[in-house]
Structure 1
Amino acid sequence: MSEADDFRRLHHGRLPGDPLVLPGPWDAASARVFAEAGFPALATPSAGVAASLGYADGQTPADEMFAAVARIVRAVDVPVSADVEDGYGLAPKELVERLLETGAVGCNLEDSVGGVLKDPREHAEWLARVRAEAGGLLFVNARVDVFEYGDDAGDPERAVERAIERAALYVAAGADCVYPIGAPTRLLPLLRSGIQGPVNVGGRVDGEGPSPAGLGELGATRVTFGPGLQRRAAAALREISAGLA
C-alpha cells in the first residue's frame, strides 16, 4: 500500500459530523504546528503558499510552488496533498512527475484558468490522463468552480446542477474527491445527494458559518480552509507587531 492509499482511506467510512479536517500549511513551520497538533494529514493552499513567497494568489511560478510543497512535505511525517492550481499548463506526465518528486500524496486541480471555466469534458479528459500517469500514487481532488466563475454563479440552485454535472464527469475520469468551492452552505445537502464519492467543503476560521463538524452534518467528507489559516496568522502577527512600537 502506498502513502496515497493511506490518505485515500482517510476519506472513506466517515460518519456524518466527522469529516476529515485538513489544515493548510503555507510553510514548513506551520506544517509542523499542525502535525504536532495531531492532524492525520495536511493540504497546502496555493494562495497561502503564494503569500508566504511574496506573490499574489495565482501568480506563483510553478518551480517555486513545487519547491515550497517539497519543503512542507519534508518537515512532517503525515501525508500532504498539494494545491497546484490549474496544473500550470504542464502535460499530465510532467505534472505527475513533479508532484511525486515533492513527496506529495495528492493534488488539488482547478477547472478554471484566469477566472474562466474550462470545458468540462476536455478537463475531464485531462484529469483522466493525470490519473492514468499517477496510477494510485496520487489522490486527485477535482475543484469545481461554477460557484466562483460560472454563468450561473448568481443563480445558486442552477449552479448546483452545473456542479453536479461537472462532478460526475470528473469522478468518471478518476477523481477521488470533488470540491465545489464557494457553494452556499444551505446547498451542501443537495450537492451531497447528487455527487458520488467524497466531497471537499471549505471551512472558515473566523467563527462565522458552521464548524467542521457542522459541515460534516451537511454533507462534507473533508474540510479544508484555503488561505484562511495563513491570513489569520498574518492578522495575529500584525496585532503583535503593533504592540512592539
Structure 2
Amino acid sequence: MTEFADLHHTAEPLLLPNAWDHASATALAAEGFRAVATTSLGVAAAAGLPDGTSATRDETLRLALTLGTAPFLLSVDAEGGFSEVPEEVGKFARELAAVGAVGINLEDGLGPVERHAAKIAAVKAAAPDLFVNARTDTHWSGDGEGTLPRLDAYREAGADGVFVPGLTDPREIARLVAHLGDLPLNILYSPTGPTLPQLADLGVRRVSLGSLLYRRALGAALETVADIRAGRAPQGTAPAYAKVDSWARRSDPAHSAGR
C-alpha cells in the first residue's frame, strides 16, 4: 500500500484541501497538510475555461507538473479523465504519475457505469500505484438512485476509494460505509452537513473540500473591495507579500525527490 493510500486507513479521516495554483497548494502544505488535491473548478476558472467539459487537460497536467515534485502528496481532480476513451484516460493517468502525482479523482457524470468502470481499469493498468478515487454523481446531479450498483462496479474495476459528493444524510452515509467495508468512502464537506468529527464517527475515511476554498477566496476578495469602496477598513487577514512570493516559488526537484 502506498503512503497516500495509508492516509485513508488512519485513526482520523483524511481531510483533503483542494488547491488551484502553486501558491495555494504550498500554503496548505505549510499548514501541515500531508496531502493536497487540486480543484477542477479553480483550475478551469484561472484559465478562463468552463469546468466539467474536458477543456482543461493541458492546464491540469501543467499544474501537476509544478506540484508533483513538491514535498507533499498530490491528488489530481481530472474530471472524467478528459476523454471517453479508456485508453486515453489511462495515458493521462500515466502522465500524472510520471510527474509525481499519487492520486486521481475520476467522476462518472452519471454516464454509463460500464464506461466509467473501464476508465478505472485502464488507469490501474497504466499507473498501478496511482490511487483512484472513483466519484459517482448520483447525489450531486441526481436523486441518489443507483449509488450502490455504481460503487460496486467501480470497486470491481479496481478503484482504491469511492467518492459520493452531495451526500449529507448521516443515515445514508453510515449505510454506505457498512456496505463498502474496507473500501474508503470520500464525502464532500458541506457547511450545512455533518462536521468533520461527525463524519469521522460515521466511518468516512476521506473528506474533500472541493472548490470551497477557491470560492471562499473569491468571496473574501469581493468583501474586501466592497469594504474599501464603502470607506471601511477591510476585515480578515492577508498574508504578507513576501510570504505569498515564497509560496509561489517552485522548489528544487532535487531537494524534494526523497519525500
TM-score range for the pair, normalised by the shorter chain length: 0.7 to 0.9
Residue-pair matches, total: 223
- Which of 199, 206, 211 is equivalent to 1:215? 199
Matches within 5 A, 1:1-245: 5-12=2-9, 14-15=10-11, 18-59=12-53, 60-74=55-69, 76-89=70-83, 91-112=88-109, 117-136=110-129, 138-150=130-142, 153=143, 156=144, 159=145, 162-186=146-170, 187-196=172-181, 197-204=183-190, 207-245=191-229
- Counterpart amino acid of 2:13? P
Q: Is the CA contact (8 Å cut-off) linking 2:91 and 2:126 kept in structure 1?
A: no
Q: Is the CA contact (8 Å cut-off) linking 2:140 and 2:164 kept in structure 1?
A: no
Compute the displacement of 1:44 (Å): 1.0
Distance in 2 (alpha carbons) for counterparts of 1:52 and 1:217: 36
CA RMSD of aligned residues (A): 1.8
Distance in 2 (alpha carbons) for counterparts of 1:42 and 1:164: 28
Compute the displacement of 1:26 (Å): 0.8
Report Cα offsets for 1:118-164 as digits up to 9, x if no partner: 2212321231121011122x0000001112334xx1xx4xx2xx211
Structure 1 vs Structure 2: percent identity of aligned residues?
38
Moved over 3 A (4+): none
Q: Is the CA contact (8 Å cut-off) linking 2:79 and 2:105 kept in structure 1?
A: yes
Compute the displacement of 1:38 (Å): 0.3
Distance in 2 (alpha carbons) for counterparts of 1:57 and 1:129: 23
Compute the displacement of 1:244 (Å): 3.3
Q: Which runs of 5+ in 1 are unaligned?
A: none
Q: Is the CA contact (8 Å cut-off) linking 1:28 and 1:72 kept in structure 2?
A: yes
User: Which structure is higher in RCO with an 8 Å CA cutoff and minimum separation 6?
Assistant: 1
Task: Give TM-score, length-normalised by structure 1.
Answer: 0.84
Q: Larger Rg: 1 or 2? A: 2
Distance in 1 (alpha carbons) for counterparts of 2:23 and 2:214: 12
Q: Which runs of 5+ in 2 are unaligned?
A: 230-259
Distance in 2 (alpha carbons) for counterparts of 1:82 and 1:105: 8
Secondary structure of 1:220's counterpart equals: coil
